[in-house]
Amino acid sequence: MLRITKYRLLLDFSIQLILFILWAVQAALHFSYFGLLYYSSIFVLLLTAWQLLHAFYVVRKHQDWHRKQYLQNMRQLLAYSLITIGIGLFMMLASFGFLAPFFIFSLHILHWVICLVALYFAGRYFWTSIRQLQDYINRPKSFWDL
CA distance 33 to 11: 32
- Helices (H) then strands (E): counts for the chain: 4, 0
Q: Is residue 7 part of a domain?
A: yes
pLDDT, mean over the chain: 82
Q: Is residue 145 part of a domain?
A: no
Domain that includes residue 67, residue range:
2-139
Q: Is residue 128 part of a domain?
A: yes
Q: Is residue 144 part of a domain?
A: no
Q: What is the pTM of this model?
A: 0.74
- pLDDT for 146 beyond 70: no
Return the DSSP state at 78: H
User: Per the structure, how many domains does the chain have?
Assistant: 1
Phi, psi for 98 (deg, rounded to 5): -70, -25
Q: Is residue 129 part of a domain?
A: yes
pLDDT at 1: 47
Phi, psi for 29 (deg, rounded to 5): -75, -40
